[in-house]
């Protein structure tokens, strides 16, 4: 962290913005100093993204002023904001996978020599930018499709720097990163700080905010709650500012051994293209956490169990009986549900209504003629009540919901099928702390009703706080099992193969 002092490089004063007559920002102030990391936090819908899009020239404010180095600015196009030194790295990257790194960095503005693209100049400039941020794992000629998510993020950042960005907006920069990649991003951010780059850092992960930020601005319902130095608050105080109330602990109480039933889900020596002899059990009423680094086989195990990926050998048992789950349809019929990690791509039909989305899974297993006369199916209103969904009504399109409410629609979709086994892959990714608490409570409620839960998460505090047991994957194998309340270091030793190397 750096000392904040002197005149700010950026000042945003009394910023207001409305859409269709609804005011989403009202009188927000924000400033940023050179070499500062300034975190912006708040629940989904607090106005964080709208404020940043105004700074980036995507939206124009209805009221308020923006000053950079004391000079008032009016941005009617993102190019004007870029020219003023503003760079923004969105959560969804905007890269061309079939082109190399240099081509992506200079796309649309390639240097030209004698009427021909000067590839050498482009690659030299890209190499210098990579050196600036300390990136040595790939070069200017590396195709983007070969890069990890973390490496693609580096490309987005140096692309912004190539436009002489003096201030960077990072929007949920670790949302798609594995735990092992987060520290790499931290190192990059600190390097940029040392070079005097000001960084506006949006994140729902409070651990990151306290690790990186010099100051924190809290927004709620489109208004400024408070801006304060990081050292003047803690997680509990910050949550109170964000949600307007105390959260009684971050996680609901765990179940007791007496509440657990028989083994409901079991795999025996499961093998796929990546997995090797993976055997696990999950009992009725139990939440089993599944940890591991990116590429360890966590998601692949979930997909194999659910019939989404082919199984080479081994077996899956439900309530002690072998089942052939060659397709997701067969898995749903066997009582399984799968909340995937990418709700927008794999979990929802964004242009359809809440009601239509809630029926997506059940329609695959119950024909319409039977569904009309079936008893016991919940209405959309009942499903919304169970998940505490906040929406205008069942006709509202899902794309207009916050991330937390979108995730609740996904949950409601699976609850309609009356699952006995639920697999969660990153259940709270990109969701604010208030909505996270609601989803955690719902997962534990389902477990108490006898549902067997297998939960994958890259957030170790979430795994530790929610799990009755923790299984750890490493390079396609089950590296070990840990009891409830295991420490982060215990998990990471297994996830990295450290214990194996030490032996």
The fold of the 10-243 domain, in CATH, is Rossmann fold (3.40.50)
Q: How far is CA 72 from CA 48, 56, 88, 351, in A?
A: 22, 15, 20, 39
Q: Cα dist. 482→47, 180, 469, 472, 489 in Å?
A: 40, 19, 6, 8, 11
Find the mean pLDDT for residues 240-262: 76
pLDDT band at 377 (very low <50, low <70, confident <90, very high): very low
Res. 319: pLDDT tops 70: yes
Task: For residues 409 and 405, give the distance between their C-alpha atoms in angstroms, rounded to a whole number.
Answer: 6
Query: Is 259-502 in the same CATH topology as 10-243?
Result: yes
CA–CA separation, 293 vs 301, rounded Å?
13
Instruction: Give CA–CA dist 340/345, Å, rounded.
Output: 9
Q: What is the pTM of this model?
A: 0.62
Q: In CATH terms, is domain 259-502 a member of 3.40.50.300?
A: yes
- With a CB cutoff of 8 Å and minimum separation 6, the contacts of 409 are 348, 354, 357, 358, 387, 389, 398, 401
Give CA–CA dist 66/28, Å, rounded.
11
Q: Report d(CA 406, CA 230) in Å as an integer.
A: 31
Residue 372, pLDDT above cutoff 50: no
Give CA–CA dist 419/446, Å, rounded. Answer: 10
Most confident of 151-165, 177-191, 195-209, 299-313: 299-313
Which pLDDT tens digit goes with each residue over 98-121? 899 999 999 888 888 888 989 999
Annotated domain spans of the chain: 10-243, 259-502
Q: Give 468 or 406, the one with higher predicted confidence.
A: 468
Decide if 252 contacts 265 (C-beta within 8 A). no
Contact 271, 305 (CB under 8 A): no
Say which residue, 56 or 413, is predicted with more confidence: 56
Taking 60 as the threshold, does the pLDDT of residue 500 lie above it? no
């Amino acid at each position: 962290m750096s000392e904040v002092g002197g005149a700010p490089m950026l000042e945003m004063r009394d910023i207001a913005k409305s859409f269709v007559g609804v005011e989403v920002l009202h009188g927000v102030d924000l400033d940023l100093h050179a070499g500062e990391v300034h975190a912006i936090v708040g629940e989904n819908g607090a106005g964080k993204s709208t404020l940043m899009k105004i700074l980036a020239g995507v939206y124009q404010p209805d009221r308020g002023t923006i000053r950079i180095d004391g000079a008032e600015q009016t941005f009617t196009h993102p190019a004007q904001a870029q020219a003023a030194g503003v760079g923004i790295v969105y959560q969804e990257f905007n890269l061309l996978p079939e082109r190399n790194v240099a081509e992506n960095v200079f796309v649309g503005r390639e240097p030209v020599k004698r009427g021909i693209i000067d590839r050498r100049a482009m690659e030299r400039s890209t190499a210098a930018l990579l050196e600036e941020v300390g990136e040595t794992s790939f070069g200017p000629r590396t195709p983007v499709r070969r890069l990890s998510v973390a490496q693609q993020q580096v490309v987005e950042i140096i692309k912004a720097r190539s436009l002489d960005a003096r201030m960077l907006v990072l929007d949920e920069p670790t949302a798609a990163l594995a735990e092992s990649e987060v520290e790499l991003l931290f190192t990059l951010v600190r390097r940029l700080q040392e070079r005097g780059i000001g960084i506006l850092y949006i994140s729902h992960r409070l651990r990151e905010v306290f690790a990186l930020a010099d100051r924190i601005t809290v927004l709620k319902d489109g208004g400024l709650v408070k801006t304060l130095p990081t050292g003047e608050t803690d997680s509990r105080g910050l949550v109170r500012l964000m949600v307007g109330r105390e959260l009684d602990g971050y996680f609901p109480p765990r179940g007791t051994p007496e509440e657990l039933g028989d083994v409901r889900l079991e795999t025996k020596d499961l093998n796929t293209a990546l997995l090797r002899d993976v055997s696990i059990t999950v009992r009725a009423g139990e939440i089993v956490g599944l940890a591991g680094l990116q590429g360890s086989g966590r998601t692949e195990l979930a997909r194999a169990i659910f019939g989404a990926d082919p199984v080479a050998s081994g077996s899956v048992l439900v309530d002690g009986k072998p089942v052939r789950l060659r397709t997701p349809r067969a898995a749903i019929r066997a009582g399984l549900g799968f909340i995937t990690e990418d709700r927008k791509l794999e979990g929802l039909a964004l242009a359809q209504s809440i009601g239509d989305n809630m029926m997506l899974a059940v329609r695959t297993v119950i024909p319409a003629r039977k569904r009309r006369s079936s008893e016991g199916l919940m209405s959309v209103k009942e499903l919304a009540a169970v998940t505490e969904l906040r929406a205008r009504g069942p006709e509202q399109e899902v794309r207009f919901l916050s991330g937390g409410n979108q995730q609740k629609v996904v949950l409601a979709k699976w609850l309609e099928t009356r699952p006995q086994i639920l697999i969660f892959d990153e259940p709270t990714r990109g969701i604010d702390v208030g909505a996270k608490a609601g989803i955690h409570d719902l997962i534990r409620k389902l477990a108490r009703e006898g549902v067997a839960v297998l939960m994958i998460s890259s957030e170790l505090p979430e795994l530790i706080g929610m799990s009755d047991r923790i299984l750890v994957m490493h390079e396609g194998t089950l590296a070990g099992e840990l009891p409830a309340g295991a420490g982060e270091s215990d998990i990471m030793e297994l996830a990295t193969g450290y214990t194996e190397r030490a032996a």
